[in-house]
Amino acid sequence: MVSVDDDINIGDTTDLPDDTTGMGTPCDPEKVYFELQILPLLRSNCAKSGCHDEATHEEGIVLTSYEKVMTTGEVTPYDLGDSEIYEKMTKTDPDKRMPPPPNNPLSSDQINLIAKWILQGAQNLTCDPDAGNCITDNISFSATVKPVIDNSCRGCHSGAAPSGGVSLTDYNGVQAIATNGRLYGAMSHQPGYVAMPFGGARLPQCTIDKVKAWIDSGSPNN
């Protein structure tokens, strides 16, 4: 998440849509929601220039939307063994796994989330994380902020050449842009910042409010 002064191709970030999927429908913690949980992970780690975005479509695979994931990613609902996207993410051979080096492999939590989504039928379920009360008390880095960064930001902001020179692989990197205002500015699509997640929908307001509450509490490593 970077300001407009960073040397990256920001493209057209005007009028990016907010995530309004499933408005009013509370999220079930036992279910996996594609737009809310899976797509941000794929955009951050896979649907990038040189890999599986619309322009590059390496090996004909495009991972920018539910329709493209299902038609080009060889996902078989309820079947991990017949889902190519899952098999490549779990390869131990660096020459065969996705994302390929020098990108970091997906974490076990991220792989398990994708597995759970496939085993639940690889559905395009939607919900509204802002439905009901948004609790912003006692927000911690480990339980709330880090999972958001890992799923929506880390794919671009990691490795030997992180986007915009901003690495978000650990607390120190996140804390640095939290204290100077860049994290909240980019995440909330404030003027003067590149809207993040780059090229994707704005994060749910409750998620943004929780990150803001953590920042306002001093961005602790808790």
Q: Is the Cβ–Cβ distance between 45 and 99 less than 8 Å?
A: yes
pLDDT of residue 102: 80
Higher pLDDT, 152 or 111: 111
Query: Average pLDDT for residues 186-205, to the nearest whole number?
Result: 88
CA geometry: angle 222, 44, 91, nearest 5 deg: 95
pLDDT tens, residue by residue, 101-148: 888 888 899 999 999 999 999 999 998 887 777 889 999 999 999 999
Q: Is the Cβ–Cβ distance between 79 and 85 less than 8 Å?
A: no
pLDDT tens, residue by residue, 55-108: 666 778 888 899 999 999 889 999 999 999 999 999 989 888 888 888 888 889
Domain ranges of the chain: 34-119, 141-216
Neighbours of 41 (CB within 10 A): 23
pLDDT of residue 50: 65
pLDDT of residue 14: 37
Query: Average pLDDT for residues 193-215, to the nearest whole number?
Result: 89
Closest C-alpha among 76, 62, 71 to residue 122: 76
pLDDT of residue 28: 93
For residue 129, the Cα-to-chain-centroid distance in whole angstroms is 15
Tokens representing 58 are 């390496």
pLDDT of residue 96: 87
Q: Is the pTM value of this prediction over 0.85?
A: no
Tell me what the pLDDT averaged over the chain comes to: 84
First to last CA, the chain: 21
